[in-house]
Chains A and B, each alone.
Chain A
């Protein structure tokens, strides 16, 4: 894709993100009802849960991009794919940090605790460390391409941790609540809560798409201005 087309796409995505964010914030903070048990504290869910989903989605996307970089990436696509990979890694790190921070605030409001060494919380903290390891690998090599390849290998191995996060609330006794979105009808969130949650999830997805588009566009512009010699596969 050319930088010109990416520029148009990023402008459209940015506008869509802003509109969806305004709608999502208004719906979540003003028009959605309070929970019968948690009261207004449930409104923290609309930033916490999409962040948690994004932390898993980013890792999955990063692993897919990593696999492409390792096995099926022609040199002409390398700069764009590597830019998408590094952007997804950084965004994933921040989504995971946000999940932990907003979860901690929610925990303080509802449980009276900022932190507990609970299975779900600890698994998410380990994910943050894994993202940190990816970012460290990306900046640890003199050759950028080597760093990307090393991080791509870790991204693929790190996929093994995702089911641990997802099923941690079932495998261990947990303070964290179980799934209430992809759950049987009797324990699923009512539509009044699901609808703003869906809008906020869309906001986060659009945000990630905008960020990746911007960074890939920047990488392509830089590639045309600097045109470094492509490195050979080892």
Chain B
């Protein structure tokens, strides 16, 4: 296995986490807005 794989996995994992957290937060905000709308 190439010695670069630890760097490759670090870069890809970091990217996936940062993008995933943004998406998760946007979905959570929408769920919250949905709940507020349903309460009305």
Contacts of A123 in B (CB 8 A): none
Contacts of B14 in A (CB 8 A): 98, 101-102, 105
- Specify the main secondary structure of chain B where it touches its partner: helix
Contacts of A29 in B (CB 8 A): 8, 12
| B27–A214 CB distance below 8 A | yes
- Least CB distance from B12 to A in Å reads 6
Contacts of B12 in A (CB 8 A): 25, 29, 43-44, 47
| A40-B2, A43-B8, A109-B7 known; A51+B15 contact, CB < 8 A | yes
Q: How far is the CA of A143 from the CA of B4 in the complex (A)?
A: 49
- Specify the main secondary structure of chain A where it touches its partner: helix
| B40–A225 CB distance below 8 A | yes
| A44–B18 CB distance below 8 A | no
| A224-B37, A225-B33, A225-B40 known; A207+B7 contact, CB < 8 A | no
| B23–A105 CB distance below 8 A | no
Q: How far is the CA of A48 from the CA of B10 in the complex (A)?
A: 12
Q: Please encode chain B, from 1 to 40, with 1 for each CB lying within 8 Å of some chain A CB and 0 for all others.
A: 0101101101110110011001100110110011011001
Contacts of B11 in A (CB 8 A): 44, 47-48, 101-102, 105-106
| A40-B2, A40-B8 known; A47+B23 contact, CB < 8 A | no
Interface bracket on A: 35 or more
Q: How far is the CA of A108 from the CA of B37 in the complex (A)?
A: 49
Look across to chain B and name the residue whose beta carbon is closest to the beta carbon of A25: B12
Q: Say yes or no for A201: interface residue by CB 8 A criterion.
A: no
Interface pairs (22), CB distance under 8 Å: A25-B12, A29-B8, A39-B2, A41-B4, A41-B7, A43-B12, A44-B7, A44-B8, A87-B26, A101-B11, A101-B14, A102-B11, A102-B15, A105-B11, A105-B14, A106-B7, A207-B19, A211-B23, A214-B26, A215-B26, A218-B30, A225-B36
Given contacts A41-B2, A43-B12, A106-B7, 7 further A-B contacts (CB under 8 A): A44-B8, A102-B14, A106-B11, A108-B7, A207-B23, A221-B36, A221-B37
A interface, CB within 8 angstroms of B:
14, 25, 29, 34, 38-41, 43-44, 47-48, 51, 87, 90-91, 94, 97-98, 101-102, 105-106, 108-109, 207, 210-211, 214-215, 217-218, 221-222, 224-225
Q: What 6 A-B pairs have minimum CB-CB distances, sorted nearest first?
A: A40-B2, A41-B4, A221-B33, A109-B7, A214-B26, A102-B11
